[in-house]
Amino acid sequence: MNDTTARSRSEAYLARFLALHPKLIDLKLDRTLALLGKLGDPHLALPPVIHVAGTNGKGSTIAFLRAMLEADGKAVHVYTSPHLVSFNERIRLAGTLVDEDRLLDAFERCEAANAGAPITVFEITTVAALLLFSEAPADYLMLEVGLGGRYDATNVIETPLASVITPVSIDHQEYLGDTIEQIAFEKAGIIKRGASVIVASQSDAARAVIEREAARMRAPILIGDQDFSLSEEQGRLVYQDGAGLLDLPLPRLAGRHQFTNAATAIATLRTALGTQFPAAAIEAGLQSAEWPGRMQRLAQGRLAALTPKGSELWLDGGHNASGGKALADAFGELEEKAPRPLILVVGMLGAKETLAFLQPFAGLAQELYAIDIPGQASARPAAELADIARQAGLKAATAGTLSETLRFIAARQWEKPPRILICGSLYLAGEVLKQDGPLTPNGR
């Protein structure tokens, strides 16, 4: 079967899975556990699992973990969501994205075992991923929570090697609650009795909840900026924990917020595998980690070709208030080092806190162009998004589609070539990567 045929068949399965449950999201574990049972409980036959929850930084932390482990010669499975361009980005088997034929076979077996019972798309596809992970040899599995933690379909792992909680902030309130305390409680649901918990630096409110849950589960806990830390000194990173110091290079992933993610990954490996984990592998992983759609420089490609000569084109899928602040801080640092006009091209979903995301850019971005997200009925209309941007103190307008907007920017006269940031949604990030060029077999 050729790749195109397999892809069309796997997409047909995904379409059928949508019809199995009236809700896209319904946070429970019973349906997932029932289907796993019908398939022989593959979740009980996995390599050692590092389970990662949080609001921001989950994917980047996993990218660092994977890169460091692979630098040490280990084979690593990875499960992340959502995908940007193609569904098989979510499943990496021992270092390589799952091929369409293998994915199709897993979907077929899951659909047959499920026999039409109610189940959400994320639940049945997570079961398919766990089935694949159980059948392919690897040393470790990095497992990212889809939404929340306590009732997320990934939370069927009984004895993880470690549980990791990245920074918690307000997002998905309709499912997780309106306060940091409520959301942190849901994230802390991945903590298992006796399994180490590594927690990134948190707000006081989130940290208190996570500490309480760890104590209840008698789980050893390490907390960022308390039990471990990472700081920049003279163009290098200094990592410190109870076992000592590491002198390390700056990470490949851009933005100071990546220091938090890198520190969390290092602490996880030194906790789960011991402080003898090679510093050389940590250093190599920092310099090789990749995570598409997060502070990603699009230096070549179809979209970059539409921008003004000498300009910079950047992409980030951040979409909540804390993501907006992290992005604004990162581009503020770029502005200090190499001043250029910052132009935002933004598309967002209607359910997101648009004003809170955009406010950190006031006084930093020169202009904002709002665009629609193709194929997303729940996207906020561009004209409405531009109005909210003005409320945030930004000069905002619309100029058509993404490509039309980039051409409009290119037609302008600039004293200095601008720095263009496309942001506001992972769905928009996926569309950008789709338009800019294809993924390689092993990712971007």
Taken as a whole, the chain contains a residue count of 444
**Average pLDDT of the segment spanning 258-287:** 97
pLDDT at 441 over 50: no
Q: Are residues 250 and 302 in the same domain?
A: no
| pLDDT single digits (tens) 10-21 | 889 999 999 999
Check if the beta carbon of residue 61 is closer than 8 Å to that of residue 166. Answer: yes
Cα–Cα separations (whole angstroms), residue 193 to 161, 286, 352: 11, 31, 34
- Our CA dihedral for 326, 432, 262, 358, rounded to 10 degrees, sits at 10
Tell me, yes or no, whether 444 lies in a domain. no
Beta bridge pairs of residue 239:
230, 246
47 shares a domain with 183:
yes
Separation of alpha carbons 214 and 191, rounded Å: 7
Query: Is 305 found in the same domain as 281?
Result: no
Quick one: CA dihedral 246, 240, 269, 291, positive or negative? negative
Which candidate, 186, 187, 169, 210, places its Cα nearest to that of 352? 169
Assign 213 a pLDDT band (cuts: 50, 70, 90). very high
Domain edge (last residue) among 237, 256, 288: 288
Distance between CA atoms of residues 42 and 239, nearest Å: 37
Q: pLDDT band for 443, please (50, 70, 90 cuts).
A: very low
Same domain, 58 and 132: yes
Q: Measure the CA dihedral 424/430/436/437, to 10°.
A: 160
Q: In this structure, are 169 and 22 located in the same domain? A: yes
**Residue 98, amino acid:** V
Answer yes or no: do 74 and 96 share one domain: yes
Asked if residue 268 lies in contact with residue 198, where contact means CB atoms within 8 angstroms, the answer is yes
Q: Which residue from 264, 225, 232 is spatially nearest to 65, judged by alpha carbons?
A: 264
Q: Vertex 193, ends 189 and 194: CA angle to 5°?
A: 130
pLDDT (average), residues 44-48: 98
Question: Which of 288, 310, 341 lies at the terminal end of a domain, its last residue?
Answer: 288
Residues 89 and 173 occupy one common structural domain: yes
Based on the fold, state whether residues 320 and 252 are members of the same structural domain: no
442: pLDDT confidence band, cut at 50, 70 and 90?
very low
Model confidence at 8, pLDDT cuts 50, 70, 90, reads confident
Give 3-state DSSP helix, strand, coil % of the chain, rounded to 5.
45, 15, 40
Residues 307, 223 share a domain: no
Model confidence pLDDT, tens digit, residues 221-234: 999 999 999 999 98
What pLDDT, on a 0 to 100 scale, did the predictor assign at position 4? 62
Q: How far apart are CA 92 and CA 98, in angstroms?
A: 6
Mean pLDDT of the chain: 93
Q: Is the pLDDT of residue 174 over 90?
A: no
Confirm whether 119 is domain-assigned: yes
Mind listing the pLDDT tens digit for each residue in 58-95? 999 999 999 999 999 999 999 999 999 999 999 999 99
Q: What is the DSSP letter of 379?
A: B
Number of domains in the chain: 2
HSE on the CB side for 270, CA within 13 Å?
A: 24
* Model confidence pLDDT, tens digit, residues 92-151: 999 999 999 999 999 999 999 999 999 999 999 999 999 999 999 999 999 999 999 999
What's 310's DSSP letter? T
Both 223 and 203 in a single domain?
yes
DSSP assignment letter at 212? H
Say how far apart CA 357 and CA 248 lie, in whole Å: 32
* HSE toward the beta carbon, residue 275, CA cutoff 13 A: 9
Segment holding 441, helix H or strand E: none
Name the pTM for this structure. Answer: 0.91
Structural domain boundaries enclosing 404: 296-436
Query: Amino acid identity of 377?
Result: A
Q: Are the CB atoms for 152 and 77 separated by under 8 Å?
A: no
Tell me, yes or no, whether 273 and 327 share the same domain.
no
Final residue of a structural domain among 242, 269, 288: 288
The dihedral through the CA atoms of 267, 272, 275, 278 has a sign that is negative
